[in-house]
Every structure is written in C-alpha cells, then in structure tokens.
Amino acid sequence: MPLNEKSKSVLKKLAVIAGIGVTSLISYEVFYWLTHVYEYDARIEAELTTLSSRIDGEIEKVYVKEGDRVKQGDLLVALKSEVQQLKIKALEADLIREEGQRTKIEAEMIAFERDLNSRLATKRETIKARKVEHATIRNRFELTRKNFARAKILFEKNLTSKKSFEEEQSKVLLIEAEVENSAANIKVAELELEEVKSSKSRIDVLIAEKNIRNLNISKIKTLINQEKAKLTYHFVKSPINGIIDSVYKYKGEHVEEAERMILLHDENSLWIEANVDESQLRHLELGQRVIIDIDAYPYPFQEFDGVVTFIGSVTTAQMAGGQATGNGRSRKQTQRIPVRMKILDPPEKIAPGMLVEVNIQIYDQIRF
C-alpha cells in the first residue's frame, strides 16, 4: 500500500530522531571511554594474618569459627598445657626450697655475727681488766721492792731484826709471783681473743653458701620465666581486630610447630586492586574518584564511592618475575600496572577475594 505524503513525513522524522539517538549514544560511549578508566576484573584485597602454632601439641579448644569478628587479645585456640604447668609448679617448688635455705643461712649469719661480736667484746674487756689488774700489781710490786731495799739497808746496819727483813723479802717474792701470774693471764686472754677472731672464717663459709643459693635462685627464676613464656604459646590470641577467614585445626587434633591454625584479616585494611592497562597510566593520579560495583551488590541497586590510593611503579609481569617485553615486535604484549583503591562507604558484609568492577574518573587529566 503506497504511503501518502503525511506518512512519509512521519517516517523521515522518526529516522532523524533515531539517527540523533544513535549518534548521541555513540558520542556518550566515546566520551565515557575517554573520561573513565574501566576495569571489570578487580578484586577486594586485605592484609591477611596467618596464626601458626609455636609449639607441638594437642588442641584443647577452638573458640572461633569462620566469619566471627574478634578483637585484639581475644583467645582463639588453646592447646593442652597440663605438662607445662607441672613444669612451672616443680620449678616454683625448687625456688621456695632454695629461698628457704637462703633464709636459714641468713639467720645463721646474723646469729653467728651477734655471738661473735659478743665474744670479741667479752675477750677485749677481759684483756682490759687484766691489764688494769696487772698494772695495780706492778705498782704494789714496786712499792714492796722499795720497802725490801730499805729493810735490807737497815738489817745490814743492825737497825732492824732479821725477822722483819725476812718478812719484807717474802713479800717481794710473793708479789713478784703475782706479777708473773698476771702477765700470764693477759697472754692467755690475748690468745683466746685471737682464737675467737679466727672463727670469723665461718662467716666466709656462710657467705659462699648464700652466694650459691642466690645463683640457684636466679637460675630457677630465669627458667620459670622461660617456661611461663612457653605456657603462653599454648594460648593463641588475636593480634588484631579482625574477621576469621579460615580455621584449619580443631579440638583433639595434633599440631606441629609452625603449622598454621587460623587465618584472619583486618576489616579496616580492605582495598580494591585492579591491574590497569599501561596506556591509561598517564591519566591516573592519587585521589581520583572511583565508582565501584561489587558483584555481591549488583548494579543498579547499589554503587560505592572510592578513591585511588596507590599507583604501582612496576608491572604485574615484573612483580611475577617475568619479562616486561618480548624479543621482537611480534611478541610485544601490553603490560598492566597494579592500582589500589579505597572504598569510602564499604558495605557491612564484605570479604577479601570478592569480584568488583571499577570506573576511575579521569576528567581533569584529559586534554581534547
């Protein structure tokens, strides 16, 4: 059926409108492609913390499961520790015994020194008293000897009787014996004093014994501290505020030293990493706005804002230990640069490894 002029006019208008629409769409796509860096194969990354056993042992209890939120210092895994605790108790008993022996030695030292000082003081006082007594006797001896000399002169001149002379002579002999006896007593007292002084060597013996006890006590305390440190190895605590990603060992299982038990991450350390085509590197700057689509929260229901926080200076090929370029133009491959982004308003449920798509807005870096 032939079209009238009016229908032809309508079709022409529709064709023009469609052409404008297609042109606009193409222009928008070209503009979007020029003003955005788009990567669909990005992932959420995080600083993962692996907790491994520091000793061989059997797991007594696991306090967490995958997905649990934990705080720094929370107990995650406990290994059986009865043997270790018995070691510590035995060492503590040894410490008490050694400290008791040291206390006994110290008491003996105090008692011995008190007794020694008392004996030394007594002997010194005895010597002092005997010297005073000896001086008194010598004075008497000198006086008696003078009397005897006078009596002898008088006797020789027949001015006194023989009996009086002999009496004075006897007095001299008696007092002379007292002087000798007094001097001997002083000698005896001085020898006794030296004997008491020589017993001071016992103090040296006690000091040596005390030093041995001090050394033993120091060694035992060191061992106790070491064993208590090992005891802490039986209790695995979280070093961070984070989320449990994996639990590798459970109650009753044996674990060896350095064997991993728990994997967790800090939820505040999450970032997005995308490997961007090297041709876009000149357009990228730190702080650029990013529109983020997380596969778990599909567009158009929810989008998230972010910013560029890191632009790598080494290609992913070099980071993997490969070569950046091939030998010859035919083998040349486009390289990619790692770029990190921070999510400004992350959702509550998010985990490392999730797939995301990112649009990095580069308006200001484009020169038309």
Q: What's residue 326's pLDDT?
A: 46
Which stretches within 157-200 are classed as H helix? 162-198
Sign of CA dihedral 14, 20, 23, 25: negative
User: How many CA atoms lie less than 13 Å away from 4 in the CB half-sphere?
Assistant: 1
Structurally, how many domains does the chain consist of?
3
Residue 204's domain is classified under what CATH number? 1.10.287.620
55 and 130 share a domain? no
Going by C-beta distance under 8 Å and a sequence separation of 6 or more, which residues neighbour residue 74?
63, 64, 237, 238
Q: Is residue 177 part of a domain?
A: yes
102 and 223 share a domain? yes
Going by C-beta distance under 8 Å and a sequence separation of 6 or more, which residues neighbour residue 6?
none
Q: Is residue 42 part of a domain?
A: no
244 and 260 share a domain? yes
116 and 190 share a domain? yes
339 and 291 share a domain? yes
Q: What's residue 297's pLDDT?
A: 87
Nearest CA among 54, 80, 59, 114 for reference residue 248: 59
> How many CB atoms neighbour CB 303 within 10 A?
15
Q: What's residue 239's pLDDT?
A: 95
The tens place of each residue's pLDDT in the chain, 368 residues long, gives: 455 566 656 556 566 566 655 554 444 344 444 556 888 889 999 999 999 999 999 999 999 999 999 999 999 999 999 999 999 999 999 999 999 999 999 999 999 889 888 888 988 898 898 888 888 888 888 888 888 788 788 877 787 788 887 787 888 888 888 888 988 888 988 888 888 888 888 888 999 999 999 999 999 999 999 999 999 999 999 999 999 999 999 999 999 999 999 999 998 889 999 999 888 888 888 999 998 999 888 766 688 999 999 998 877 766 665 554 445 454 567 788 999 999 998 888 888 989 999 988 876 544 43
Instruction: Dump pLDDT digits (tens) for 91-135.
Output: 999 999 999 999 999 999 999 889 888 888 988 898 898 888 888
Q: Is residue 37 part of a domain?
A: no
Q: Is 341 exposed, middle or buried (0-12, 13-18, 19+ CB in 10 A)?
A: buried
Residue 295's domain is classified under what CATH number? 2.40.30.170
Is the distance from CB of 282 to CB of 252 less than 8 angstroms? no
63 and 90 share a domain? no
- What is the domain extent for residue 333? 270-365
347 and 307 share a domain? yes
